[in-house]
Structure 1
């Protein structure tokens, strides 16, 4: 199964593709989609969603695990990310690719065993679990790979029966 992990962001959206059989996980590709603050909001959101769709097709993705919004005190920064999440879900739905949303503590727990893990601990476990020599960079790409691993850990058996 090919899993697309997404760390949604307005300026940078991280993505990572992992091949999983439920026991073994192998990295396929990863990176970030960047937008410019000089672009109009709608163009930025559309560009991210369109890029996610193209990456899903290019990498023959069968399912997506995406980090959900974890409510913070700064609601104004969460709104653009929520729009990116919605646009990505819509784009993937058009491609008939199911999406699973996970809270940051759920992703941390799946990757490190502890929902309150620090960012560097998650990144180190992503490195170890996927066999990288160094932590994947940029950070948003590493976070996206963690979202893909979360889906592989929590939902693999359930999803495999449906596919």
Structure 2
């Protein structure tokens, strides 16, 4: 199964593609989508969503995992990211690609086994699990690969529970 992982952001959205057989994950490609602060808000959101759609098509992904909104104090900073998530989900649904949203603690548990893991621990586990010599850069791309791994873990577990 080819999985697209997305770490949504307003200035930078990370993306990573992995192939998963339910037991092992193999990295395919990763990167970031950058927007300029000089772009109008609507253009930024549209650009991110269109870019995600293009990546999904080019990489022939079958399913997408995306980090969901998680905030504790500043609601206003979460609003642009929520708009990006909505636009990306819409774009992928048009392309008939299922999207599953995961909270940051859920991603941390799936990748490291600990919901309180810090960013460096997650990135080191991404490096190990995907067989990289160095932690993938930029950080948002490594985070997106973590989301793809998370979806793979949850999908494999669900299949085992269902006896498939």
Distance 1:142 1:132 in 2: 11
Distance 1:141 1:159 in 2: 27
Deviations 1:81-124 (A, max 9, x none): 00000000000000000000000000000000000001000000
Residue of structure 2 in register with 1:139 after alignment: 139
SS at 1:30 equivalent: strand
Q: Return structure 1 stretches of 4+ with deviation > 3 angstroms.
A: 156-161
Q: Displacement of 1:156 after TM fit? A: 3.2
Q: Displacement of 1:71 after TM fit? A: 2.1
Cα 1:96–1:158 change in 2 (3 A) is farther
Residue of structure 1 in register with 2:41 after alignment: 41
Distance 1:130 1:107 in 2: 15
Is the contact made by 1:15 and 1:144 (CA closer than 8 Å) also made in structure 2? yes
Unaligned runs of 5+ in 1: none
Residue of structure 2 in register with 1:97 after alignment: 97
Distance 2:24 2:156 in 1: 11
SS at 2:10 equivalent: coil
Q: Displacement of 1:159 after TM fit? A: 6.9
Q: How does 1:1-20 map to 2 (within 5 A)?
A: 1-20=1-20
Distance 1:140 1:72 in 2: 20
Q: What TM-score, normalized to structure 1?
A: 0.96
Distance 2:72 2:83 in 1: 16
CA RMSD of aligned residues (A): 1.3
Distance 1:38 1:87 in 2: 20
Q: How does 1:63-78 map to 2 (within 5 A)?
A: 63-78=63-78
Q: What TM-score, normalized to structure 2?
A: 0.95
Unaligned runs of 5+ in 2: none
Number of aligned positions between the proteins: 161
